Chains A and B, each alone.
Chain A
Amino acid sequence: MTRKLVVRFFVITLGALTICTPIFAHHGTAGVYDYTHRITTKATVTEYIWANPHVQIYFKLKNDKGEEQTWGVETVSPGNALANGWTKKSFKPGDELLVSFVPAKNDRTFGTCIQFVFVADGKRLGGSGRCGMGAEAVDSNTLPIKPGYTAVEVQMPKDTRVRPESEQEQ
């Protein structure tokens, strides 16, 4: 029992320290994103933009009503994407993905804090799900699904990759 408590303490403490690791966004985004929800579902890439200020991926997904929507996500700058191992050919239209991200507030179909898994080969790109700055810092993996996207939720494979300290995720 004591051992379990000790282990739990260390897991929680380590998790909190990890979440609180500051992530430096290119531009401040306080107030833009809803860091209380995530969307985790299947998607199909429609467009991949390799440009400043942030690399963007656009994809189609379906909501609980079966309606098809086009969402976009911002990631890091192209330079940091290169340092993270991405290239301008990492995605192409038609790629089938599992995606998990934090949506913008209100009805804006845009997101951040993205995690990708390619359906074809299980390849993973993107961050660990830890994002936000200051009071908004969060582990998105622990967030509830945004209402309207609960029925289309998928399970993301476990992310076991150890990231170098220099890797910028957002």
Chain B
Amino acid sequence: MLNRLMGARIVMGAMIAITVALAWSSFVFAQNGQQGRQKAKAPAASNQPFDAHDLSGFWDITNIGRQPGALNETSNNRPPMTPWGLEKFHKAKTGYDGKALSNGVFPNEKDWNDPILWCDPTGFPRIMWHPTPPGMRFAQTGEELIQFFENNRVWRDIWTDGRKLPGDDAESRWYGYSVGHWDGDTFVVNSNNFNDATWLDQYGSPHSDEMTVEERYRRVDHDHLEMILNITDPKAYVGTWKGDKKIFQWVEKPARSQYADLREDICAWSEVKSFFDRMEFNGKGGLQIHP
């Protein structure tokens, strides 16, 4: 622990430079009107001590430092799709104008088929950036890092006890199966065994059950956590979908809860169906939404 704290002081020493860099990139970002809940701005410098190997706490994703026009996605640099991926993508219909990643905007809501409209699990990695704001909490134990999400009150077990990823005959899951390890001060997460029922974003980017995901987290100061997420899916994409650096902001008390915790942001079909019925989604005469 002592060594870690000494290391932390060194990291803190670089904090001012990082803050300046973030401030500049945030400025650039702000000039280009990015989608997202939080506008980019320079994070306040944190002088609190921290342990680079402790990711515990509540974290909110931000747009700090993201490229101009960056969408709610691991990055805009989606690799070309395979014929299998393209066929699946062209079936995705939404009302979002995804620009760089869009499959077109479908103005008639009767066409929309985003699975979360009818409360299918958001799945991973989409839950990291949509629906916004994706409140998130890390809790660490001796054998795993647990990642809790406000969205639908779900969690991921990221095992750190040395176990290996399962083989391809294992059960597929909405949130996959994950193991993690420390590479210096970077926490590396590898995941597989996803089912292919979720979208990777609200624009309909597809994936298969062969998808693997790598996440790299690094706590740069007490208040900020960097994350890069790379997606590899040879059945759907030609090459790895490399992610942009995301910055998470440490949150002492989540603003979206009256209890200083992650609130129950649960998609309950009875509530959602009532909403669609009342707003006459698809017009008068009853709900015709999928499935």
Contact = CB atoms under 8 A, between A and B. Distances in A.
A79 to B, nearest CB: 4
Nearest to A83: B255
A32 B276 CA distance: 12
B275 A56 contact: yes
A31 B41 contact: no
Interface of B: 33-39, 41, 72, 94-97, 105-109, 112, 114, 117, 131-133, 135, 150, 202, 255-258, 263, 265-268, 271-272, 274-275, 278-280, 283-284
Given A30-B95, A54-B275, A77-B131, 17 more contacts: A22-B33, A22-B36, A26-B132, A28-B95, A28-B97, A32-B95, A49-B275, A53-B272, A53-B275, A56-B279, A79-B135, A83-B256, A108-B283, A110-B280, A166-B38, A168-B37, A168-B132
Nearest to A73: B279
A27 B267 CA distance: 13
A54 B267 CA distance: 11
B contacts with A: majority SS: loop
Interface string A33-58: 00000000000000001011110101
A133 B22 CA distance: 27
Interface in A127-142: 133-135
A82 B133 CA distance: 13
A32 B263 contact: no
Contact of B280 (A53, A87, A108, A168): A108
A72 interface: yes
A52 B107 contact: no
Contact of A30 (B107, B132, B258): B107
Given A82-B263, A165-B41, A28 B96 contact: yes
Nearest to B279: A110
A125 interface: no
Given A74-B275, A79-B256, A29 B33 contact: no
B35 A22 contact: yes
Please classify how large the interface on chain A is, using the bins under 10, 10 to 19, 20 to 34, 35 or more. 35 or more
Which 5 residue pairs across A and B have the least CB separation, nearest first? A31-B107, A28-B95, A79-B256, A28-B96, A30-B95
Contacts of A156: none
Contacts of B266: 52
A contacts with B: majority SS: loop
Given A31-B107, A31-B108, A32-B109, A51 B275 contact: yes
B150 to A, nearest CB: 7
Contact of B97 (A26, A133, A166): A133
A152 interface: no
A82 B260 CA distance: 12
Contacts of A30: 95-97, 105-107
B35 A24 contact: yes
Contacts of A77: 131, 265
B271 A29 contact: no
Contacts of B132: 24, 26, 168
Contacts of B283: 108
A72 B278 contact: yes
A29 B95 contact: yes
28 contacts: A27-B131, A28-B95, A28-B105, A28-B112, A30-B95, A30-B105, A30-B107, A52-B272, A52-B275, A53-B272, A53-B275, A56-B275, A56-B278, A56-B279, A77-B265, A79-B135, A79-B257, A79-B263, A82-B257, A82-B263, A83-B256, A87-B258, A108-B283, A133-B35, A133-B97, A166-B38, A166-B255, A168-B132
